[in-house]
Structure 1
Amino acid sequence: MTSDPWGRVDDEGTVYVRTADGERVVGSWQAGSPEEALAYFTRKYEGIAVEIGLLERRVRTTDLAAKDAQAAIDHLKAQVAEGHAVGDLDALAKRLDALSAEVESRREERKAARAKAQEEARAAKEALVAEAEQLVDSTQWREAGDRLRELVDTWKGLPRLDRKSDDELWHRFSHARSAFSKRRKAHFAQLDQQREEARLRKEKLVLEAESLSGSTDWGPTAARYRELMADWKAAGRAQREAEDELWTRFRGAQDVFFQARSAVFDERDAEERENQTAKEALLVEAEALLPIGDLKAAKAAYRDIAERWEAIGHVPRDARGRLESRLRAVEHALREAEDAEWQRSNPEVRARAEGMAGLLQAAVDKLEKQLVAAQAKGDARTVAKLESELAGRRELLAQAQKGLEELG
C-alpha cells in the first residue's frame, strides 16, 4: 500500500483521500504505479484549488453578480465534497465557505446600497414633482418652461423605483407639466387674440390719422391727434411686425400734419414779431402825448394811433399784455383829462361848489362870533369846543375855495 499525508492507494488500486470526517474513496488506479495514482489525483486537487483561486479573484476584483458568484461557489463545493481528488479538501471547503460569506456580505452591502439609492432616487423624484407642481401656477412662462424641461432631463438621469411608486410619481410630474402647458397655451392664445384686437383698433386709428394729415384746421386737428395718441396707448400692443408697421404709418401721418402746422406757425410768428415792432413804434408816439396839454389835439392824435394799432394785427402772445397795458395807460390819461375838463366847464358843478363854499363861510362866521362871546364870558370849556369846531370848518372852507379856483 502506498500513502501520503492526504491519501493512499491500497493493494487493490483503490484510492482514498483523508478528510476530517475520515477516509473516502475517490477512485481506483489500475494503469500504473500507486505513486502515479496519487500524483494524478493530486493534480485534480490542484485544479480545483486553481479554480477556487480564480473565483476568489473574480469576486474581489470584478463586479460579478452575487447570484453568479454563489452558483460558482456551490459548483466548486460539490467538486470538493464529491470530487475525485487527493489533497487538503477541508481547507478548500473552508476557503469556499469564507468566500460564500464574503459574497453574502457583499450582497447585503449592495442590497443596502440599492435601498439607499432607491430612497435617494425617491426623494429626488418627489422633490422634482413638488417643484413641478409649484410651477403649475407660474406666469413666468419662459423661465418656468425652461425649468420644467430641466426637471425632465434630471428625472431621466435618476434610477427607476419600484413600478408602482415610479408610475405614481411620474403621473403627478406629467400632470403638472400638462397643466402648466395648458395654462401657457391658453395664455398665449388669449394674448394672440388681444394682439389681433389691438391690430384692428390701431388700423382704424392709422386710417383716421392719415385722413387728418392734410388738415389745416390746426387747433381741433392737433387736439384730435392727442386723443388718437391716447387711444393708441390704450389699445395695447399688436404682434411686433404689425405693431412696427402700423406705428410707422401712424407717426408718419402725424409728422405730415405737425410739420405743415409748424411751417405755418413759423411764418405767423415772424409776422407777429414784425407787428410787435410796429406797435412798439406806435407806443412811442402815444406816450409822447403825455403829459396832456392840448386835449383836443391829443385826442385826435390818439384816435389816429388807435386806428393804425388795430390795422397792424396780432403780436406774440407773451408781448400782448405788456403792449396793451402801455396803450391803455395813455388812454386812461386822456380820459382823466376829459373828466377834469368837464368838471371845470359844468355850471351845475360850479353852482354846487359855490353854494357849499357859501354855507361853509356862513358857518365859519357864526362860529367866530360865538367864540368871541365865549371868550368875553371867560367860558374856557365852550371856548375850547368852539375853537375845535371852527378849525374843522375853516379847513373844509379852504378845500371848497380851492375847488372853485380849479373850476376857474
Structure 2
Amino acid sequence: MSSDPWGRVDETGTVYVRTADGEKVVGSWQAGSPDEALAYFERKYEGLVVEIGLLEKRVRTTDLSSKDAMAAIDHLREQVDAHHAVGDLDALRVRLDKLVELVDKRREERKAQRARQSEEARQAKEALVTEAEELAQSDQWRAAGERLRALVDTWKGLPRLDRKSDDELWHRFSHARSAFSKRRKQHFAQLDAQREEARRIKEQLVAEAEALSGSTDWGPTAARYRDLMAQWKAAGRAQREHEDELWNRFRGAQDVFFAARSSVFAERDAEQAENLKLKEELAGEAEKLLPITDLKAARAAFRQINERWEAIGHVPRDARPKVEGRMHAVERAIQEAEESEWRRTNPEARARAEGLTGQLQAAVDKLKGQIEQARAQGNSARAEKLERELEGRQALLDQALKGLQEFGG
C-alpha cells in the first residue's frame, strides 16, 4: 500500500483521494506499482490545475462571454467532482467558485457598460431628431438638405436602441425629413409656376418689342421700350432654358429700333462716343472699388457711380457689351460680397453651428471624465476604448469649430 497527503492506493489497487467530505474512490490501478498509480492520477490533477489557470486568465484578460465562461467552468467542475485525480480537489472547487463570482461581476460590468452606451446613443439620436425637426422648418433649401443627409449618415453610424425607442425616434426623424422635402417640393413647384408666368409675360413683351422694332416714331417708341423694359424686370425670371432666348429676342428688337434711330440721327454719333468715354471712366472708377473691403462704402459708391452712369445716355452699339460688362463685373462682386455677408451673419445658421459645437464639446468633456475615471479604477482596456472614441468626437468638434469661425465667432 502507498499513500501521499492527498491520496493512497490500497492492497487491491484501488486509488483514493482525500477531500473535506472524506475519501473518494479515484479509480483502480493494476498496471504497476502504487507509486506509479498515484503519479498517474496526480498528473491528471495537474492537468486540471493548468486548465483552471488558463480559464482564469481568459476570463480576466479577454472578452470571453459569460455564457462560454460558465460552460467552461461547469465542464471543469464536472471533472473535479468526478474525483478522477489525486490532489487538493477542494482547493480547485474554491477557485472555480471564485471564478464564478468573477464571471458574474464581469457580466454586471458589461451590462452597465451596454446601458451607458445605450444611453449615449439615445442622447445622440435625440439630438439628431431635434436638429432634424428644426431643419424641417428651414428655407435654406440647399444647406438644410445637405445637413439632413449628413444627419442620416450620422444616424446610421450609431448603435440601435431597444426596438420601441429606436422606432419612435426614427419615426420623428423620418417625419422631419419628409416635412422638409414636402415644403421644398412645394416651394420649387411655386417657383416653377412663377417662372412659367414670367415666361408668358415676357413672350408678350417680346412680341410687342418685335412689333415696334420697325417704328420710326422715335420719341414715343423709345419711351415705350423703356416701359417694356420696366415690365420685363418686374416680371421676374423665367426658366433658364427660356430666359436667355427671350432676352436675346427682346434686346434684339430694341437694337433694331435704336440702330435705325442712330442711323437717322447720325449727328448723335459724336455724343455717343463721348458717352462711351465717360462710361469707360465710370467703369474704371467702379473697378477701383475691387476687391471689396468695406461692403457698405462700396455699395454706396457704386450706387452713385451707377446713377451717373444711367444719366449719361447711349454709347455706340459695338462698344456697349464691353463697357457694360465691366460694370456688371463690379456689380456681381458686390452682390457676392452681400451674399457672403448675409451667410456670415445669418443668426439661424450661426445658432445651429453654435448648438452643434456645444453638443460636441459636452461629449468630449464627458469622455475625458470617463477616461480619467477608468484610469483611476485601473481599467486600461476601457480607458483605451474611450480614448479611441474621444479621437473621433474631437475630430468632429475641431471641424465644427472651424465651421463656426466662418461666422466670425
Question: TM-score, structure 1 length as denominator?
Answer: 0.63
Alignment CA distance shift 1:186-1:88 (3 Å)? same
Which residue of structure 2 lines up, in the alignment, with residue 297 of structure 1?
A: none
Name 1:18's counterpart in structure 2: 18
Alignment match, 1:215: 215
Q: Which residue of 1 aligns with 2:89?
A: 89
1:97-145, Cα deviation, whole Å (9 max, x unpaired):
2222222222111111100000001111111111111111111111111
Q: 3-state SS of the aligned residue for 1:160?
A: coil
Using the TM superposition, give the Cα deviation of residue 28 of structure 1 relative to its aligned residue in structure 2, in angstroms: 1.8
Q: Once the two structures are superposed, what CA deviation does each residue of 1:60-83 show, in whole Å capped at 9, x if it has no partner? A: 332211111122112212221224
CA distance in 2, matches of 1:268, 1:56: 106
Match of residue 242 from structure 1: 242
Match of 2:184 in 1: 184
The amino acid that maps onto 1:230 is A
CA distance in structure 1 between the partners assigned to 2:254 and 2:232 by the alignment = 13
Structure-2 separation of matches of 1:243 and 1:93: 90
**1: distance between equivalents of 2:44 and 2:115?**
43
| 2:134 match | 134
Q: Which residue of structure 1 lines up, in the alignment, with residue 27 of structure 2?
A: 27
Aligned position for 1:318: none
SS of 2:266's equivalent?
helix
Using the alignment, how far apart are the partners of 2:258 and 2:182 within structure 1?
48
Matched residues in 1 for 2:229 and 2:83: separation?
A: 104
Matched residue SS, 1:266: coil
2:116 aligned with 1:116: yes
Q: Measure, in 1, the Cα distance between the counterparts of 2:149 and 2:211.
A: 51
Kindly report which structure 2 residues correspond to 1:53-92, keeping only aligned pairs within 5 A, or say none: 53-92=53-92
Partner of 2:229: 229
Quote the Cα distance in structure 2 between the aligned partners of 1:123 and 1:90.
50
The answer to whether the 8 A contact 2:7-2:16 is kept is yes
Listed as ranges, the matches of 1:287-366 within 5 Å are none
Higher mean C-alpha displacement, 46-55 vs 107-116: 46-55
User: Partner of 2:85: helix, strand, or coil?
Assistant: coil
| 1:44 aligned residue | 44
Q: Per-residue deviation at 1:256? A: 1.9
Q: Bigger CA drift: 219-228 or 30-39?
A: 30-39
Q: CA offset at residue 48 of structure 1?
A: 1.5
Q: Secondary structure at the match of 2:16?
A: strand
Could you say which structure has the larger radius of gyration? 1
2:8 maps to 1:8: yes
Partner of 1:201: 201
Looking at structure 2, the residues matched to 12 and 268 of structure 1 have their Cα atoms a distance apart, in angstroms, of 141
CA distance in 1, matches of 2:159, 2:196: 47
Q: Counterpart in 2 of 1:99?
A: 99
Shift of 1:179: 1.1
- SS of residue paired to 1:63: coil
How far apart are residue 176 of structure 1 and its match?
1.0
Q: Distance in 2 between matches of 1:88 and 1:199?
A: 99
Q: Alpha carbon RMSD of aligned pairs, Å? A: 1.7
Q: Percent identity?
A: 81
CA displacement at 1:54 relative to structure 2: 2.3
CA shift, 1:268, in A, is 6.7
Task: Give how far 1:269 is off.
Answer: 8.5
| 2:17–2:83 CA contact under 8 A, matched in 1 | no
Pairwise CA distance, 1:32: 2.3
Q: Which shows bigger deviation, 96-105 or 122-131?
A: 96-105
Q: TM-score, normalised by structure 2?
A: 0.63
Work out whether residues 14 and 28 of structure 2, in 8 Å CA contact, stay in contact via their aligned partners in 1. Answer: yes
